[in-house]
Chains A and B, each alone.
Chain A
Amino acid sequence: MDEILQMRNIHKAFVGVKVLKGVDLTIGRGEVHALLGENGAGKSTLMNILTGVYSMDEGQVIFDGEDISNCSIRESEDKGIAFVHQELSLFNDLKVYENIFFNKELTTKGGSLKKNEMIAKCREVFEKLGVDIDPSVTVEHLTASEKQTLEIAKAIFFEAKLLILDEPTTALSNAEIDHLFQIIENLKAEGKSFIFISHKMPEIFRIADRYTVLRNGEFIKAGNIAETNAQEVTSTMVGATFSNAEIYRTRELGEPILEMRALDGKDFHDVSLSVRRGEVLALTGLQGAGCSELMQCVFGELPSFSGTIAVEGEELTKNTIHLAMKRKIAYLPTNRRERSAMPDLSILENMYISEHTLSGKKPIINRASEIAKYDAQKENLSIKAEHYSDLILSLSGGNQQKVFFARWLNTDAEILLLDNPTQGIDVGAKAEIYKLILKLAESGKTIVINSQEIPEIQRVADRCVVFYSGRIVKTLPHDQITEHTVMMYATNAAEDSEE
């Protein structure tokens, strides 16, 4: 095999914690190589070593026949390695061609920019890639997929030989994914190589030639995609802990605890819903269907225009978070990093903060009793954390999310609104969150979960309410929740909608 990249026996530790323990990665010229592993398996660290962001403790990197171990970011770019990040690194306020030529502008001797030449060169490359983007338009006007292709075009422009694509399809529709894959195929034919990082199995089996699996910083397996299947790859990734067993059980539900009547807001209309004590109710719909906004309205974060919300038969008189919390409503926001985590605070502080806003009459913190409460929650939710005084970000995504569950359970909330609770959490931790949700429901908590992942809903929900552009179109009982049915109503393709 003609290898473009060989990473051998890579070791890396942070603060004494070994993150990579002798990882090997070999990429052939002109292949799409899937790099697989759960969050925290070491993929990002490995890529950051390859692109010069981190230095490694031990090991060797050979790229295109040259030893580039511990190179700088600039050197790795110059050698032809391009990292297309998950969070795109484009300047929204600059034009397309300005982004492509950023820091590498074509100038006259006097230093003024050769705009027309740059625009013409952009057109050339776009045509070659089969991309239809106007080089002189401002980037903020581009769609997510156009931005994605622009990032790739940028790499191609400067003769990248190896492109690292980190979850490139997250924000793309199916048609856009097809287009992206077409571009990848074309570039592959030209001899470009790709490292493809993704959690989506169907895509991996569609586009990748070979794969490497990492687990807990160790090299587990490499091979040809054609010789394996999704089930096998998944179990290699998660190791022995993975279990797909059905965990849902029918439960006895209590009286209605949360009732919305004719609730109207900016992104949802005429919503009437009644949730019973101990129930797990799923809200679902396409992006922008209004489920998340509805939850935020119940929590007092977004205003309602008309209609009522009642908890245990008693109406909420004001639309504030504080009142919602007093009435035992909790809201676990989507986008954990931005809307839940306080990165400078410890695990303990991150946990007790919400309860403190309810017990303001006792202004002094009783450390011993807070620690006792934390220990109880840690046990209850099986949070894997070393010490309560560690920073919250020292935990994995799944364990961070459990701390935020603990934050709300600590307020004695009865109604838990979970907005996309498994976002950015790996397979194994997701399964634990599902178990946790059902355990809480069994103990009498009422749970409303917003999710677009239908398998997730199938595993936990008693009922599923499907939204289409802010309105309820269908309510499905547990045994009728299937990917097919939900999608039919979510896209408003069904005839018998409740409207």
Chain B
Amino acid sequence: MSTTTLKKKNSFSIGQYSYILICLVLFAAYWIINGRMSLKLFTNIFMYHSAIIGVLGLGMGMIIITGDIDLSVGAILSCIASFACVIFNLLVLANVPSGLVITITVLFCIVGGTLLGFVNGAMIGKLKLPAFIVTLATQLIYRSVSKYACNIIDNSVTGGTGSGNVYKLLNGPARDGMYAFGNRDLFGALPYIGLLFLVIAVILIYISTSTKYGKRLYAIGSNAKAAHMAGVNVEWNRTSVFTITGLLCGIGAIMWLGQQSGVDPSTAGVSNEMYAIAAVVLGGIAMSGGKGRMLGIVFGTFSYTLIDKIINAMNVSSLVNDSIKGAILLVAIVIQVLGPQLRKKHGE
């Protein structure tokens, strides 16, 4: 019976790296449709536009590896970015030196994101509530709080104008600093936020492949009961992945503020949890947990951005955008789920 699954885990097969193949195909398709390619365009796609979804996707990927899901990543990003904006503006209004303004804002994003992630994690890990419902609820709460706050906080502090319910970083050297981080390139070619994304990716790939903590996450996703019986502290590890994801959302919020110099709480990060899940699925990580590589998420994110760019380049109505993304996601999951089944049936 058990001899039916004589499969090497680490032996090389093209199926294991299909996420790279998908990415290459999409890149070729984009090149053809767009008709030209340049270094600027290349780094624009793979670094500037992939950074935020990529960072959220890396957190989402860790959570999915443990067999859970987080629907609140977009809302955490939006909420943290909103309040970071308020703090930034208050500091600017109090004439705090711009270096300190940026430092405090960045610290706030990191600590705040971690905290919101920890709230999710504690409820899911410690209280053993279902992740889907918990993060759906916190998604609603976090987003509503940032929208409501925008409404009641004075425009001079939110930075918004007229009746517009948006947060804006107040002009000045501090804002210019944030803007430079979000929009400038190292050596004139490598966007800073893209570099930050890749650095985070390298760290998380290392954690997932080479640390005891990383292997525990796979163990929990593969069989949580067995992991518990083997001595793994399932409660704490579950809590920790949601907390790390919260931290990554905080970093996403910094990137967002840098890129946009402000945040509209009713649109910022909307559907980003779905885009992050899309990047994870395109990266070949199994939704059932326990399987997949963090490296896949990097390519999954690239693929996701490429799809976005291809749709834009084809000049179709932006309203069809999500239908096409949805369809591509379906194809990806069909390949992921049905591929192994077909191979099994034919006894490959």
Which residues of chain A have a CB within 8 Å of any CB of chain B?
12-15, 17, 19, 39-40, 44-45, 54-55, 57, 301, 321-322, 325, 331, 333, 338-346, 349, 352-354, 356-360, 362-365, 367, 387, 389-391, 393-397, 400, 407, 411
Contact = CB atoms under 8 A, between A and B. Distances in A.
A400 B226 CA distance: 13
A364 B211 contact: yes
B95 interface: no
Contacts of B11: 389
B211 A365 contact: yes
Nearest to A17: B6
Interface string B1-35: 11111111111000000000000000000000000
A389 B209 CA distance: 14
A364 B3 contact: no
Contact of B219 (A338, A342, A358, A391): A342
A345 B231 contact: no
Given A338-B225, A391-B7, A344 B2 contact: no
B7 A45 contact: no
Contact of B3 (A19, A54, A358): A19
B132 interface: no
Contact of B290 (A17, A45, A343): A343
B308 to A, nearest CB: 31
Contacts of A339: 225-226, 229
Indicate the member of A331, A338, A356, A359 with the most B CB atoms within 10 Å: A356
A349 B215 contact: yes
Contacts of B233: 322, 357
A397 B2 CA distance: 8
A54 B3 CA distance: 14
A57 B346 CA distance: 10
A352 B228 CA distance: 14
A19 B222 CA distance: 27
Contacts of B228: 321
Contacts of A44: 1
B345 to A, nearest CB: 8
Contact of B5 (A331, A357, A389, A391): A391
A55 B5 CA distance: 16
B154 interface: no
B8 A390 contact: yes
8 contacts: A322-B233, A339-B226, A341-B223, A349-B219, A353-B219, A359-B212, A365-B212, A393-B2
B8 A396 contact: no
Indicate the member of A15, A45, A393 with the most B CB atoms within 10 Å: A15
The majority secondary structure among interface residues of chain A is: mixed
B6 A342 contact: no
B223 A353 contact: no
Given A12-B347, A349-B215, A364 B210 contact: yes
Contacts of A349: 215, 218-219
Interface of B: 1-11, 210-213, 215-216, 218-219, 221-223, 225-233, 290-291, 345-348
Given A15-B7, A353-B216, A389-B10, A343 B229 contact: no
B66 to A, nearest CB: 12
Contact of A15 (B1, B9, B226, B348): B348
Contacts of A362: 212
Contacts of A390: 6-9
Contacts of A407: 230
A395 B8 CA distance: 11
A395 B9 contact: no
Given A356-B215, A389-B9, A390-B8, A342 B231 contact: no
A342 B2 contact: no
B3 to A, nearest CB: 6
Given A301-B229, A346-B9, 6 more contacts: A12-B347, A15-B7, A325-B231, A338-B226, A349-B218, A390-B7
A40 B223 contact: no
A342 B2 CA distance: 14
B9 A391 contact: yes
Contacts of B230: 340, 342, 353-354, 357, 407
Closest 6 pairs between A and B when the two form their complex, measured CB to CB:
A344-B290, A389-B10, A344-B222, A356-B212, A342-B222, A357-B231
A379 B296 CA distance: 36
A397 B230 CA distance: 18
Nearest to B214: A365
A71 to B, nearest CB: 14
Given A342-B219, A349-B218, A365-B210, A395 B10 contact: no
A74 to B, nearest CB: 15
A399 B211 CA distance: 26
Contacts of B4: 14, 19, 45
A400 B5 CA distance: 13
Given A339-B229, A342-B290, A396 B10 contact: no
Given A338-B225, A344-B290, A389 B8 contact: yes
Contacts of B7: 15, 390-391, 394
Nearest to A54: B347
A358 B225 contact: no
Contacts of B345: 55
B241 to A, nearest CB: 15
Contacts of A331: 229
Contacts of A394: 2-3, 5-7
B222 A343 contact: yes
Contacts of A341: 223, 226
B2 A40 contact: yes
A331 to B, nearest CB: 7
Contacts of B291: 344
B69 to A, nearest CB: 18
B2 A345 contact: no
A367 B214 CA distance: 14
Contacts of B211: 363-365
A43 B131 CA distance: 41
Contact of A387 (B8, B221, B225, B231): B8
A395 B216 CA distance: 22
Contacts of A342: 218-219, 222-223, 226-227, 230, 290
Nearest to B220: A342
A363 B212 contact: yes
Contacts of B232: 353, 357
A360 B7 CA distance: 30
Nearest to A56: B347
A344 B5 contact: no
A387 B346 CA distance: 24
A15 B219 contact: no
Nearest to A358: B231
A364 B210 CA distance: 6
Contacts of A387: 8
Contacts of A364: 210-212
A14 B347 contact: yes
A345 B3 contact: no
A344 B230 CA distance: 15
A319 B230 CA distance: 15
Contact of A14 (B3, B10, B223, B229): B3
Contacts of B5: 14, 391, 393-394
A367 B222 CA distance: 21
B222 A340 contact: no
Contacts of A343: 222-223, 290
Nearest to B343: A15
Nearest to B237: A357
B344 to A, nearest CB: 9
A389 B4 CA distance: 17
Nearest to A347: B9
